[in-house]
Structure 1
Amino acid sequence: MRDIQNERGRTTALVLGPRGQLVLALLAILFSSSLARAAKYGDIEVTIKSEPRGTAVHGYAEVEFVVTNRSSQAAHDVRITYPKSSYSYGGDYLRAVSRNVSVGAGESARVVIAYPERIDLRGNGAGVTIDGREEDSALPVGTSTGSRGHSSYGSARSWGTQLLALYSKSVDTRFSDWTAQTQAQLQSAGKYLTAETVRADQAVDQWSTNWLGYTRYDGVVVTADDLRRMPAEVRSAIGQYVECGGALFVLGRDPQLPGPWKLKPDPQHPVSVAAPGFGQCITTDQTDIATFPARVLTPVLESWSSTAAPWLRTRTPSDANRTFPVVEDIGVPVKGLLALMFVFAIAIGPVNLIILIRKKRKLWLFWTVPLISFVTCLTVFAYMALTEGWQGRSRIEGFTVLDENSRRASTLGWTGFYTPLLPSGGLRFSAETEVSYQNGEDPYSSSYSRRGSSNSALTIDWTREQHLASGWLTPRVPAHFALRKSELRRERMTISKGADGAPEAVNGLGADLSQFWYRDEGGNVFFAEGIPGGGRAALKPLPGAPATAGAKTLRSIYAGDWSTLPDRMKSDGPALLAPRTYLGVMEAAPFVDDGMPGASVRKTRSVVYGILKEGGDGS
């Protein structure tokens, strides 16, 4: 075949001749430069390095830019905004996602802009602002309207569960065909999964170093050689993605996994499975599975389906507040307002007039009426301030898996905000947090039939952190967000033997524990109540210890409803405990971002599932 292709190439060269070959070379140069999508603005050159591919309905998409300063003397401040201009047919939409960077003379800077897939993004290209001056021409971005699955009228809903998986350039090019065959067999068995697989356009050493860049995918597929070649930062990001609920499939022998994960053979399929955090990692020794692809890929597609499960449900703001109430009553106090209006009407009318007639000062109506109105307005504001406060309320709850072996904390949570007045600072989250707006938007429906939308123009600024700058909050309307977060943390619990041989626990989690369970190597469960931060407590055997057989797994908890996790974990959590793990309940949320720290009333609660470090007693 290669000889035939070479012969065809020589024949083409002879037919075209030298002049034709020159034309082809020029066309190739022009075509390759157009693919680069670079634009030059004076000293500054901006190039799009990578864009998301495939149709996603959750997670974050990343667009990576490279900003190069061609000047040999002057530094420049550059702001990238995507999209440059936006529009809406109704419903919430992303008006602008931006990031600032300072580029020194002769230097280049990498600028990554991430945006949530569940919110509509419609617009034209990326805008560039240099030293405060906005450039007129936009940089064309291939993920604009329609090309990434968000058409002008919303995404079309496929029959069954819509899945999206990314596979590396080293994976066999037949992988999409193998997936399609497996999908067809699952459908014949009554399991309807629509899986789209996209091949990466960059080698693994160029992949994103931020785990948020993988959240749009229900699965990531790499080879064992990929894991050995990729930089530690990329491998760590993939590990964070998996531990926060993602799915990783590895083809090839002896993979260098992103964490200290324990693989166990699957008794029904020729694969091995690990369950790190809330996610799942599946490996196979084979790289060519063409003979029986369904035997290998059936558990892989089921794992992808579990990754997508939490994102298939939507809620209106009222539904979200019933499930996760920030305030008990968000209704307008009609009776109180009617009573106030009645008193106001009597005071400003008959009472005021009668008093002025008796005093023979009717002309005073010109200042008594405005004065009574002003006093009434002050009364309304004072009542609002006393009952609701000026800075609003927040509620934060989370469930964290703290693995002391990898030092990584993987958190699922919900947070809600209610504010009587619109705060000027917006909401702020860390760059390691995935924030999913629970405002009733259905990613599958047309934007003309969005449910529960406030028709807001939403903005995000990534310059210092993830700043939800405007549009996310509406006065007197609760706003809810589902959160995932992965970060390195040094908090830990220390378990050691006391003088009487019974285990003791030292609380190093940075918050008081109201309840604490621990399962030792022998399967015995111990319990303590009320361990203050930094304090020590003796653990007592728990009679009737919860059995682990048939208990839910962390993976099944991820696939369920996150809004009630702390309540459910207080009763069901002890059954999750494996040997040398613990579960702690605290009336605080140290592992979840506080998006509005200035709230006048804050309700916080969280549960920590801890995995003690191997090879020691926890000390």
Structure 2
Amino acid sequence: MRERLTPVLLALLLLAASPARAEAPLPPPPAPAQEVAPSEAPAAEAELEETEADSEARTELDEEKKAPGYLELQSQAENVTEGDLRVSVTTTVLRPLRDYAPFEVVLHNLGSTPRVARIEAESAGRSRGDIVSRQVEVGAHQRLSVWLPVPVAARGGIIRVHSPGLSLRAFSFYMAETDGTPVLVLGSERAFQSGTRLPRLEKEAQLVARFIEPETAPRELALYVGYPLVVVAGDVTSLPADTWSALEAYASTGGFLVLLHPPRDVGMRLPLLASTTSGGVHPYGFGQVRLCGAADACGSALFSDAEARSSPTQDKYSGGHPTQGIVLPATPAPSWQRSTSMLAGGEQPLLPGVQAPVGRFLFLITLFVLAVGPGGLALARRKGPVALLIAVPSVAFVTCLSLVAWSVIVEGFSLHASRYSLTWLDRDRDRAVMVGLGSYYANLEPEGFRMPALAALMGPDVAWESQVVEADWTNGMAVTGGFLPSRTYREWGELAVLPSRARLTVRREGQELRVQNALGAPLAEGYVQLDGKVWLLPALADGAEGVLTPGPDSASRKTALQLSLFSSHVQSRFKNVPWSELDKPLPEGGFLARLEGSGSMPTAVLPMELHEGLHLMKGRVDGP
């Protein structure tokens, strides 16, 4: 019966499927790609015209983004009055490319007695409390502007103002990011427009400006170093002396300072300028200065300056932000990165042995497993379970003690460091212009230290939350935490312009030229230009004397980079240093030397075990 019904069922299925096939005929074969039917030609031409229109629109949009002009980030201050104290806080500011964002807090004491106020900033998402604090005294009927250098890694948070007897509400702050180059302008918007002839834009612009009053501008170097360009739009001579000192330090330590109206005594105010006879860009220490002439030419030049300063390199770990800085500390690898390199971007640590001894620890753990596993089973069979209860905790205690002993004996409790720096010794003004880098590792977090007003501590370009340094800015920068977590490798850059009595003295004794090392560090090697000849500096300890010997001519001597003995890993941290300026022919009495030791940067006060210390110094000798 089954064999007879099978043909019938197949026939019924075929009859049921045949109408569906008739209703769904196969589509015709596609026409050749190069042929267009006459009826379809208008549609194709319309599509082509639409594509060209879109292309033109995109081109116009790109041109609009690159239109000459500037954009100002609008921000309104929040005000609150409690008792006889009025507080005004600018809660939204333009975020610099790196380091610190300056927040202004204006305190106005309406009473007849002085009042002490403490200002604190707390980062959003952090549990350790305040990251920046500053205490000030506001005189009777005084209006005081206070600046807080908030690390850019914070991005946002809360600002609190405390004063005895008052209960002021908290202010929320935020750092706004833009696609343009952030520019800090000391002066009014009208003065900036007059000096550059740049129009104000309401849309995307290459320059995004923040205007601050010159009379109340910051006095610390750290509040300027994050900006690729700082413009003085008004009269330079009207700036407070402390503010101008900070601006000059910013330019000499790798910044780009623009003077729209250079004063007549610009050579005295900028002592490192080689020439002031013409405008344009001048090298200045480790940075640059632009002396503007015609307003139209200066305005157009700002765009090329901004492009060169804001995007010299691109780092895929920086979240799309350009990296810029005279010193570029390496960034710790993020937790999600799985690679053999300890640092982000394939960089190698500058300290040996900062990686955990995984192999040795695994060996000790394997011995522990064998002792409590097969060893414990054999012990239980021979001595019974009571012996096993005593042996297992004892073996675990010995294993833990071995791990701790290894850490203490091999690494110890001291701070391990490698330090590198470049110094421009300004003997005429008894000061040293320094840019440096330090790499650190320690079992325990070191104690705090202090940075002067004309010095700045610089972290990696990437805004890692773990890199936020905590500091009290009441008298300079007193680092209180976040500098070096225990058992964590960190790198920090430093900029400083500090008074210095370091010198290299040369005197004649008969036919010899003798040199005395008073540079504050051991002298390893170097050159000095005297009597039109190049002389070799001998290796000298600090305070020792030696004899100069004739050396090669200027064309055959080592370059500054060769003399520094910086490895390729160290060179990558100093890639933005103007090495060509250091390699210029030495003037009469000029010297270039390599020093050893911990260096003269502010962090040298930390007690440390130095792995490597290399420092290059350029200056002028005393005598003969």
Normalised to the residue count of structure 2, the TM-score between the two structures is 0.69
The corresponding residue for 1:137 is 169
The answer to whether 1:128 aligns with 2:161 is: yes
Instruction: Report the CA distance shift for 1:337/1:127 in structure 2 as closer, same or farther (over 3 A).
Output: same
CA distance in 2, matches of 1:618, 1:116: 45
Instruction: Report the CA distance shift for 1:576/1:180 in structure 2 as closer, same or farther (over 3 A).
Output: farther
CA distance in 2, matches of 1:107, 1:297: 41
The corresponding residue for 1:164 is 183
Letter of the 2:132 counterpart: S
Aligned to 1:417, the other structure's residue is in SS state: strand
Q: Compute the displacement of 1:239 (Å).
A: 1.2
Instruction: Report the CA distance shift for 1:178/1:569 in structure 2 as closer, same or farther (over 3 A).
Output: closer
Number of corresponding residues: 515
CA distance in 2, matches of 1:52, 1:410: 33
The runs of 5 or more residues in structure 2 that have no matched partner are 1-74, 314-321, 333-341
The runs of 5 or more residues in structure 1 that have no matched partner are 1-33, 182-192, 444-452
| Correspondent of 1:603 among 587, 590, 612 | 612
**Contact between 2:120 and 2:160, CA under 8 Å: does it hold in 1?**
yes
Q: Compute the displacement of 1:302 (Å).
A: 4.4
Overall identity of the aligned pairs, in %: 21
Q: Compute the displacement of 1:463 (Å).
A: 3.7
CA distance in 2, matches of 1:457, 1:280: 29
**Contact between 2:77 and 2:91, CA under 8 Å: does it hold in 1?**
no
Letter of the 2:619 counterpart: G
The answer to whether 1:61 aligns with 2:61 is: no
The corresponding residue for 1:511 is 521
Aligned to 1:64, the other structure's residue is in SS state: strand
**Contact between 1:96 and 1:458, CA under 8 Å: does it hold in 2?**
no
Instruction: Report the CA distance shift for 1:498/1:273 in structure 2 as closer, same or farther (over 3 A).
Output: farther
**Contact between 1:326 and 1:393, CA under 8 Å: does it hold in 2?**
no
Q: Compute the displacement of 1:562 (Å).
A: 5.8
The corresponding residue for 2:250 is 241
Q: Compute the displacement of 1:74 (Å).
A: 8.7
CA distance in 2, matches of 1:242, 1:389: 41
- Answer 1 or 2: higher relative contact order, Cα 8 Å, separation at least 6: 1
The corresponding residue for 1:460 is 471
Instruction: Report the CA distance shift for 1:297/1:433 in structure 2 as closer, same or farther (over 3 A).
Output: same
**Contact between 1:432 and 1:485, CA under 8 Å: does it hold in 2?**
yes
Instruction: Report the CA distance shift for 1:95/1:306 in structure 2 as closer, same or farther (over 3 A).
Output: farther
Instruction: Report the CA distance shift for 1:582/1:107 in structure 2 as closer, same or farther (over 3 A).
Output: farther
Aligned to 1:435, the other structure's residue is in SS state: strand
| Correspondent of 2:368 among 311, 325, 344 | 344
CA distance in 2, matches of 1:100, 1:564: 32
Letter of the 1:515 counterpart: E
CA distance in 2, matches of 1:234, 1:405: 21
CA distance in 2, matches of 1:194, 1:334: 51
CA distance in 1, matches of 2:430, 2:348: 30
CA distance in 1, matches of 2:455, 2:400: 41
CA distance in 2, matches of 1:490, 1:320: 39
CA distance in 2, matches of 1:472, 1:262: 35
CA distance in 1, matches of 2:493, 2:344: 10
**Contact between 2:518 and 2:542, CA under 8 Å: does it hold in 1?**
yes
Greater CA radius of gyration, 1 or 2? 2
| Correspondent of 1:87 among 104, 108, 125 | 125
The corresponding residue for 1:283 is 291
| Correspondent of 2:502 among 491, 503, 511 | 491
Q: Compute the displacement of 1:138 (Å).
A: 0.9
Aligned to 1:238, the other structure's residue is in SS state: helix
Residues 513-562 of structure 1 show CA distances to partners (whole Å, capped at 9, x for unaligned) of: 1112112373x2211121221222222221233379x999xxxx9xx986
Pairing of 1:4-15 with structure 2 (within 5 A)? none
Q: Compute the displacement of 1:216 (Å).
A: 3.1
Pairing of 1:318-337 with structure 2 (within 5 A)? 318-319=342-343, 323=347, 325-337=349-361
CA distance in 2, matches of 1:86, 1:405: 47
The corresponding residue for 1:312 is 323
Q: Compute the displacement of 1:377 (Å).
A: 0.5
**Contact between 1:498 and 1:538, CA under 8 Å: does it hold in 2?**
no
Letter of the 1:168 counterpart: G
Letter of the 2:530 counterpart: D
**Contact between 2:147 and 2:218, CA under 8 Å: does it hold in 1?**
no
Residues 7-31 of structure 1 show CA distances to partners (whole Å, capped at 9, x for unaligned) of: xxxxxxxxxxxxxxxxxxxxxxxxx
CA distance in 2, matches of 1:222, 1:74: 33
Instruction: Report the CA distance shift for 1:208/1:595 in structure 2 as closer, same or farther (over 3 A).
Output: same
Instruction: Report the CA distance shift for 1:490/1:74 in structure 2 as closer, same or farther (over 3 A).
Output: same
Letter of the 1:39 counterpart: V
**Contact between 1:260 and 1:405, CA under 8 Å: does it hold in 2?**
no
Instruction: Report the CA distance shift for 1:302/1:471 in structure 2 as closer, same or farther (over 3 A).
Output: same
Instruction: Report the CA distance shift for 1:75/1:303 in structure 2 as closer, same or farther (over 3 A).
Output: closer
Aligned to 1:379, the other structure's residue is in SS state: helix
Pairing of 1:16-165 with structure 2 (within 5 A)? 37-42=78-83, 44-48=85-89, 54-67=94-107, 76=116, 78-83=117-122, 86-87=124-125, 96-101=130-135, 103=137, 106=140, 111-117=146-152, 119-124=153-158, 126-130=159-163, 135=167, 137-139=169-171, 144-145=173-174, 148-150=175-177, 157=179, 162=181, 164-165=183-184
Q: Compute the displacement of 1:177 (Å).
A: 4.2
The corresponding residue for 2:438 is 415
**What RMSD over aligned residues (CA atoms) do the two structures have, in Å?**
4.4
**Contact between 2:121 and 2:150, CA under 8 Å: does it hold in 1?**
no
CA distance in 2, matches of 1:67, 1:387: 53
Normalised to the residue count of structure 1, the TM-score between the two structures is 0.70
**Contact between 2:183 and 2:229, CA under 8 Å: does it hold in 1?**
yes
